[in-house]
Structure 1
Amino acid sequence: MAAHTKIITLIAELRKSIRNLALAFVCSALVIFFLSPHLLQVVQGHLAGKLYFFSVAGPFLAHVKLALFAALYVLMPWFTQVMWRALGKPFRVSGGQLFFFILFTCLLFYAGTLFCYYVTLPFGIEFLLGFSSEELKPVISVGQFVNFTTIFILAFGFIFELPIFMVFLAKVGVFKRRFYEKNRRYAILIISIIAAVLTPTPDVFNMLLMGAPLYLLYESGILILRVLRIGA
C-alpha cells in the first residue's frame, strides 16, 4: 500500500470515531469539573503546600485545566483504541496483535504517569523548593501548579510508550531490530537530552529518575522484538 493511500486510510478510520470521542471527552471534562476541587486537594496534599491565585479567573481556569487533564487521563484507553484501530488498517495490524498494542500502550502510559506522580515530581518539587529561605518564601500559583504537574505527568506517560512504538516500527518495516541494537549509543544520547529537558530539575539524580527507566524501556523493546522474532 502506497504511503499516500495509507495516510488516507488512516484519516478515514480516525474520522469514524473522532466525533464520539470528542463528545465523550467534553462530557467527561464537565462531570470531572465539579469534582475538581477534591481532585486538586488530593494532588496538592501530595505535592505541595498552600496555593495562591493572582487573578480573578485563576482558580476557575486551574479547575478547567485539571478537569481536561483528568478527562484525557480517564479516556486514554478509548483514545488508544481509536489510534491503534486507525493505524492497524493501513499497516495490516489486526486481531491479537491489535489487542497487544492497545493493552500495552495503556499499561505503559499509566505506569509512566504513576512513576512521575509518586517518584519524580515529589523529588523534583522538593529540590526546587529547597532554594527557599527566610528572605525568599515560596508562593505557588494554583494555575502554574496545575500546568506544571499535568504537563510532566502526561510527558512521562507518553515517553513510557517507547517499547510499544519500537515494536510497531519494526513490525511495519521502518526499523529492524538490529537498527536498535547498533544505535544504543545514540539512544543513550537522545534519552539523556529528553531527560534533561523534561525533568523538573537540572540535577543528575532527577535526570536519572527519568533517564534510567527510559533506557530500560529501550532495552525491553529490543528484548520484546527478540522474543517475538519481529524485525530480525
Structure 2
Amino acid sequence: MVFLSELRKSIKLLGISIVVMSVVLFPGSGGLIALFQQHLKEQLYFFSVAGPFLAHVKVSFFGALYTLMPLLTYVLWKAMGKPFQVEGRRLFWYVAATCLLFYSGTVFCYLVTLPFGVQFLLGFQSEELKAVISIGKFVTFVTVFVLAFGLIFELPVFMIFSAQVGLISRRAFEKNRRFAILGIAILAALLTPTPDLVNMALMGGPLYLLYEFGILIIRVLGIGPSRPGS
C-alpha cells in the first residue's frame, strides 16, 4: 500500500512527461527509423494508409521512454524503497546502477544481439522466397527487443535490493538455480518478438549470466548474510 500510494503521486507527472517528450521527438523519428534500418539492409513497406505515421508515433514513444528512463527509474525506486527506508545515498546508487545497466543492455542489444538476430531470421529467404517487411512490424520488433534487453539487464540490481531488505537471501538464490533457469526461459519466450529458439537464447543466455553476476555481487558486498535453511 505504501508503494502504490507513493507511486500514485508521480503517475500524472510521468504521463505528461512521456507525452511531451514524444511530441518533441516526433520530428526526428524518421532519423531513428533510418538508424534502426541499418541492421536490416532491406527495403521497408507499409500496407495501410496510416502505416508510416503509426511507425513514427511508435518510434517517438520509444524515444521518450528511452530518454526519460532516469526519471522513470527514480520514481520507481523512490516508491519501492519507501517501505524499506531506502533513501538518500542508497536511493541514488540504486537509480544510478539501474540506469547504467539499462543503457548497457540496450547498447548490447543494438550492437550485438539485434544484428545477429536480424541476419539469422533473414537468412532463410531465397530466390523463391523474398522478404517483404512491414515498417510497423519492424519498428515494433526493434523497440520491444531493445527495451526488453534494457529491462532484463537490471536483474542484478533487483537481486541486490531483495537481499539487502531481507526479502530473498543469497542462499535462496543459489539453491533455486533450476527454478531461475525455468523462469528465465519463460521470460525470454514472452519478451522476444519472435518465438524462435535463437532469439530466446540470445536473451536467455545473458539473463542467466546476469543472475549469476547478481549472486556474485551479493557475496562480494556481504549483503544480507544467508541463514541455514533460508
**TM-score, normalised relative to structure 1:** 0.90
**Equivalent position amino acid for 1:114 in 2:** V
**Residue of 108, 132, 150 corresponding to 2:101:** 108
The 10-residue stretch of structure 1 (178-187 or 142-151) with the greater mean CA deviation from structure 2: 178-187
Match of 2:113 in 1: 120
Query: Structure 1 regions of 5+ residues with no counterpart?
Result: 1-6
Match of 1:3 in 2: none
Q: Give the drift of 1:203.
A: 4.2
**Equivalent position amino acid for 1:39 in 2:** L
C-alpha contact 1:128 1:201 (8 A) present in aligned 2: no
Q: Does 1:45 align with 2:52?
A: no
Match of 2:206 in 1: 213
Change (3 A) 1:18 1:203: closer
Whole-angstrom distance in 2 between the partners of 1:140 and 1:117: 19
**Residue of 167, 187, 196 corresponding to 1:202:** 196
Q: Does 1:182 align with 2:175?
A: yes
**Residue of 188, 191, 202 corresponding to 2:184:** 191
C-alpha contact 1:53 1:142 (8 A) present in aligned 2: yes
Match of 1:130 in 2: 123
C-alpha contact 1:166 1:221 (8 A) present in aligned 2: yes
Match of 2:80 in 1: 87
1:151-193: CA deviations, max 9, x gaps? 1111111111111111111222221110001112222333234
Match of 1:32 in 2: 25
> RMSD across aligned C-alpha pairs, in angstroms?
1.7
The 10-residue stretch of structure 1 (151-160 or 43-52) with the greater mean CA deviation from structure 2: 43-52
C-alpha contact 2:7 2:75 (8 A) present in aligned 1: yes
1:99-152: CA deviations, max 9, x gaps? 111011111111111111111111111111111111111010000001111111
Change (3 A) 1:40 1:229: same
Whole-angstrom distance in 2 between the partners of 1:13 and 1:196: 32
SS in 1 for 2:130: coil
Q: Give the drift of 1:22.
A: 1.7
**TM-score, normalised relative to structure 2:** 0.90
Query: Kindly, what percent of the aligned residue pairs are identical?
Result: 62
C-alpha contact 1:47 1:121 (8 A) present in aligned 2: no
**Residue of 215, 223, 226 corresponding to 1:230:** 223
Q: Give the drift of 1:202.
A: 2.6
C-alpha contact 1:192 1:211 (8 A) present in aligned 2: yes
Q: Give the drift of 1:213.
A: 1.9
**Equivalent position amino acid for 1:191 in 2:** I
- How many correspondences in the alignment? 224
Whole-angstrom distance in 1 between the partners of 2:38 and 2:209: 31
Match of 1:160 in 2: 153
C-alpha contact 2:69 2:99 (8 A) present in aligned 1: yes
SS in 2 for 1:131: coil
1:52-106: CA deviations, max 9, x gaps? 0010000000100110011000000100001111112112111221111101111
The 10-residue stretch of structure 1 (47-56 or 185-194) with the greater mean CA deviation from structure 2: 185-194
